[in-house]
Amino acid sequence: MDARSRLTTSAATFLDLLDAGQRGEASLPFDGSERTTWAYWPTARRGVPLWALSRPQAKTAFRLLAALVAPPAFARAMAVIALEEVLDQIEGGRSDRRHSGDYWISVFGRPGSQPWGVRFEGHHVSVHATVAADDVTLTPLFLGANPAVVRDAGHAVVAPLAVEERLGFDLLHALTVEQRSTATLSDEAPADIVTRNLPRLNAPLDTAGVPLSVLAGTAAHAGRELVRVYLDRFPEGVARPATEDLRFGWAGAPEPGHGHYYRLAGHRLLVELDNTQNGANHVHTVVRNAGADFGEDLLLAHYRRSHSG
């Protein structure tokens, strides 16, 4: 089954298992502004929440998430969702939004119609799919974690985004002195990902940093691995952002445990990682596709085809 069919079937199955009231909450118009409204912090959302679902309904919600992203990203997302309960314990249970049921599913349009979309979103998980014709796009794609690492006697027990962190440091430390100077955007990391939850990014992006194309040896390998880990969030058959002309930029501390930030930016692809909050133990990552988030370019092509002739 291809990506479009798998996603369509999963979304339709999810909606079919809801009662009429739940289906009304989960079903939203495709052309409304809500489809491009997103947030990665605890907040009120439109859709149907996990906490309101029965066990069979919740299982179909997770199967829908598994259809949206590749297995490694699905595992990361499920670990992030579970961390909400850990964070609630750390904070002493003072927030009624710190729980693993505060994740919401929204379906825009009707699965199988042209076009349609789906969103799975809550604290530190924000995944969006747009489907038109036989094509599926999947950005913005945000995953974060707080705490970023849970330790036992100095050993990491849970660290959903440890690979993304390690590969960033691997690349930084593999650069020559000159390349590292070019890659350094600032001595201080920003307080969060720079693009936050902007609904749209304009191309071309700011690409200050060191070009991956000039790297050799260990640095070139580290660069390829860093790009790969983000592209591997996308399941087979889903459109991936173009990776030409990527540059690597770094801000903040060169070692873990202190605030740091990096980005990969090219003609369209933007990846950001920021770990500055809560003593640099609260990480945010995002993959964006300038001019194509929320299927912007896909929809333009679809509407042109629909109105031609």
pLDDT in tens, 80-94: 999 999 999 999 999
Query: Which residue has tokens 């692809």?
Result: 269
**pLDDT for 213:** 97
Give residue 267's domain range: 150-291
Q: Are residues 14 and 102 in the same domain?
A: yes
Position 139 confidence tier, pLDDT thresholds 50, 70, 90 = very high
Q: Are residues 107 and 159 in the same domain?
A: no
Q: Report yes or no: 262 and 29 within 8 Å, Cβ to Cβ.
A: no
Q: Are residues 57 and 97 in the same domain?
A: yes
Q: Are residues 115 and 177 in the same domain?
A: no
Q: Are residues 121 and 196 in the same domain?
A: no
The answer, yes or no, to whether residue 244 has pLDDT greater than 90, is: no
- Number of domain units in the chain: 2
Residue 25 inside a domain? The answer is yes
Last residue of a domain, one of 139, 166, 192: 139
Q: In angstroms, rounded to a whole number, what is the distance separating the alpha carbons of residues 21 and 31? A: 22
Q: Are residues 164 and 278 in the same domain?
A: yes
Residue 145 inside a domain? The answer is no
Angle at the Cα of 249 (from 245 to 250), degrees rounded to 5? 165
Q: Are residues 155 and 132 in the same domain?
A: no
Q: Are residues 128 and 160 in the same domain?
A: no
Q: Are residues 155 and 282 in the same domain?
A: yes
**pLDDT for 239:** 85
**pLDDT for 306:** 61
Average pLDDT over the chain, rounded to an integer: 95
Output the six-digit token pair for 231: 């592209």
**pLDDT for 257:** 95
What's the average model confidence in pLDDT over 67-78?
98
Residue 305 inside a domain? The answer is no
Measured between its terminal Cα atoms, the distance across the chain in Å is 32
Burial profile 96-126: b = 16 or more Cβ within 10 angstroms, e = fewer: eebbbbbbbbbbbbebeeebbbbbbbbbbbb
Residue 23 inside a domain? The answer is yes
Residue 278 inside a domain? The answer is yes
The answer, yes or no, to whether residue 271 has pLDDT greater than 60, is: yes
The answer, yes or no, to whether residue 153 has pLDDT greater than 70, is: yes
Q: Are residues 156 and 134 in the same domain?
A: no
Q: In angstroms, rounded to a whole number, what is the distance separating the alpha carbons of residues 5 and 11? A: 10
pTM of the model: 0.96
Position 307 confidence tier, pLDDT thresholds 50, 70, 90 = low
Q: Are residues 278 and 157 in the same domain?
A: yes
The pairs formed by 233-236 with CB atoms below 8 angstroms and a separation of 24 or more are: 233/69, 233/70, 233/72, 233/73, 233/138, 233/141, 233/143, 233/287, 234/69, 234/70, 234/73, 234/138, 234/141, 235/3, 235/67, 235/68, 235/69, 235/70, 236/3, 236/70
Residue 304 inside a domain? The answer is no
Residue 255 inside a domain? The answer is yes
What's the average model confidence in pLDDT over 10-26?
98
Q: Are residues 117 and 220 in the same domain?
A: no
Residue 287 inside a domain? The answer is yes
Give the percent of the chain with pLDDT over 90: 88
